[in-house]
Every structure is written in C-alpha cells, then in structure tokens.
Amino acid sequence: MVSFLNLKDVNAPYRDALVAAATRVIDSGWFVHGREHEAFEQEFSAWLGGGITIGVANGLDALTLVLRAWKQEEFLRDGDEVIVPANTYIASILAVTENGLVPVLVEPDERTFNLDPSRLEAAWTPRTRVVLPVHLYGQAADMPAITTFASRHGLRILEDCAQAHGATVGGRRVGLWGDAAGFSFYPGKNLGALGDGGAIVTRDPDLAGRLRALRNYGSHVKYENRCQGPNSRLDEMQAALLRVKLPHLDAENSRRRAVARRYRGAIANPLVSLPWCGGDESSHVWHLFVVRVASRELFVRHLADAAIQTMVHYPIPPHRQECYPAFHGLDLPITSAIHREVVSLPMGPALTDTEADAVIAAVNAYRG
C-alpha cells in the first residue's frame, strides 16, 4: 500500500534526535516559554532570512491573533473587510470571522489555485483593510501583484503560510512579503511538530511586542495585564522537537520537489489534469500534489483498488459550509468546480521512487 502521508516514516530519520530533545525538556523541568521556545523563534527567523518569530499554539491562532492585534491598535474595526481566497482551508476564513471582520471571498486563478490578482480591484470597497493571501498546497501566491494592489489602497497583508514553509518569490521566502504571516506546525505540514504548534512572523517590532503579550493572556510582564488575551503558547516540548526538524526542512522540500518532478514527468492521462508550476521551481514546496479529474469518485476508487491512498483537499468549499449560512448564496463557480474535482496524490519527504512509480502507473492506467 502506498500511504498518502506516513508520519512515522517522515519522523523516523530524526527519531534518536527527537528522543534526545524530549529527554532534554523533561530533565529541564521547564515546560512553557523557556529556552527551547526562545531558541526556536530565533532559529526560525534565521532560516526564513528575516523577520521576528512569535511562537503560538497553532496556525489558526497565528492568523487570528494578528488580526486581533490590528484591531487593538485600531487599524481594524468590527465589520471591516478582509479579502481572502474563496478556495482555501476553512481556517483562513475562521481567523477573519473570529475577529468580527467580514471575509470577502475572491475566486482563484485556476492554474495556481491561489488568489487571482486580476479580481482584486473588483473585490475592493472603502471598508477593505486587509488582504489575506494563502499559499495553497505549497505554491506561493502572486505576491508582487498582491503587494502592488495592497499599497495602492493602503491595505495590510497577512500571509497564510500554513502550507508553504520555504516557498520563495523572487528569492524572498513567503512570510516575509506581508506585514505579518501565520505558520502552522500541525504534524502533517511541511514543518510538522509532534502535536500542535504555530508561529507568527512580522518585521514590525511593535506588532511583535503586542503579539508576545496577546498570546500570553495579554500580559507583558508576569501578572500584569495591559490588555485581555488568550492562552496560545508554543510549549517547550514542541519547540525542542521543531528545532530538531527545522535544519532538515530545505532538504525535505527538495525531496518533495523531486517527487513532483517525477509525477509531472511521467503522468500522462488525458482524464487527469496535473498541477501547474511556473518557471521558478522554488516558488512551490509541494505540501500537496493535487490533480483534477471530472469523475473523482471513480478515480479515487480506481487508485484505492491499486492500493494507492488519496485524500481530497477539500471536499466542501468554505462558502458551502454549514457554519457559514451567509455565504451559501454566493456564486463562485471556479471554487465550486475545484472542490468537486481535486484529488491529492501521495506526497511527502519519505515517499520513495518505487512508491511514486506505483502511483504513476496506477494514474496512467485510469480509464474513467
């Protein structure tokens, strides 16, 4: 069987180092906001090539807290609008509505699945304050175009980097393009903890200071609270484990690119559309390898019969989710078609060439 993503295999090369790191934390007797967490924040910024990293409990909190901080400093007010891709994981949109802000859903570019910059002007209103691009499936959004649009209207950019650790645009890593960015270290992400974790990155020291307090009950100094805040901390154990894996992230992304190259070079089936990737290979870190097929159920069953595990990212678009009745009337044909047709093939740093070849053979044998 070829698994979609086997996290045991992903973590196996680091097992001894992970056990040593966990032991170090246990023996230290210090479990929240200590040396590991501080070191990880520094190391993540160094790896990214700039910015200030603020560890938090998960990726959703990373996005939610940035918008909350912008409300605190009165850049945002209740009911202000945030432009988000209609085609994204629900968390990008939850971060907006959690803060009493209004998500304005914009259709994607069908080639990249990301925000289509040519639709941004039409989505703008006098209440628009933020653009929230998502680097979906690991492919960087068109940041130069989004930046131009944002500066023309005085908007801030919050990047959702939860699927794209290490993707670059014009030599600059995603996370350093916007005013702030949210990363997730959910176990299945390109940089995955062994539990939940997340981080915010910003180059704005004032925002960083505000966020350091916000994630910790709003406390700047122990037992002193200038504002109200949640508890959203990256614990010492996860920070220590992430420190083991971070130095290997670039190599893992290279392996993902090699798998993608193999798939793209050998899958040839008129019923299966391959993902597009522009001339710059480094703009994609292949969190997922997503193909499109008209008859998804048949295709998934065909692959399952060939012992190939697949997933669907995602089966229901955000505007059709039960939790968002206000969006049910929206007409988003591109997003809806994508959600009907996408299938994610096995992808990960531990996938072997033999496994990839089994996937290729099974996809090529599909006859509809």
Q: Which residues bind ligand PLP (CB under 6 A)?
A: 58-60, 88-89, 91-92, 134, 160, 162-163, 184, 186, 196, 198
The span from the CA of 345 to the CA of 178, in Å, is 30
Nearer to ligand PLP, 60 or 123 (CB): 60
Nearer to ligand PLP, 178 or 198 (CB): 198
Least distance CB 142 / ligand PLP (angstroms): 17
Nearer to ligand PLP, 160 or 236 (CB): 160
Best CA proximity match to 313, nearest among 277, 281, 345: 345
**CB contact at 8 A, 96 and 103:** yes
Nearer to ligand PLP, 184 or 267 (CB): 184
Least distance CB 347 / ligand PLP (angstroms): 14
Least distance CB 48 / ligand PLP (angstroms): 17
Nearer to ligand PLP, 149 or 186 (CB): 186
Nearer to ligand PLP, 56 or 272 (CB): 56
Structure tokens at 334: 């591109």
Least distance CB 186 / ligand PLP (angstroms): 4
Best CA proximity match to 358, nearest among 3, 112, 23, 2: 2
Look at the block and give the residue holding tokens 């070191």: 39
Least distance CB 344 / ligand PLP (angstroms): 12
Q: Closest residue (Cβ) to ligand PLP? A: 59
Handedness of CA 13, 16, 21, 22 (dihedral sign): positive
Least distance CB 7 / ligand PLP (angstroms): 14
Nearer to ligand PLP, 87 or 310 (CB): 87
Least distance CB 41 / ligand PLP (angstroms): 17
Nearer to ligand PLP, 63 or 356 (CB): 63
**CB contact at 8 A, 134 and 89:** yes
Least distance CB 199 / ligand PLP (angstroms): 10
The span from the CA of 191 to the CA of 238, in Å, is 12
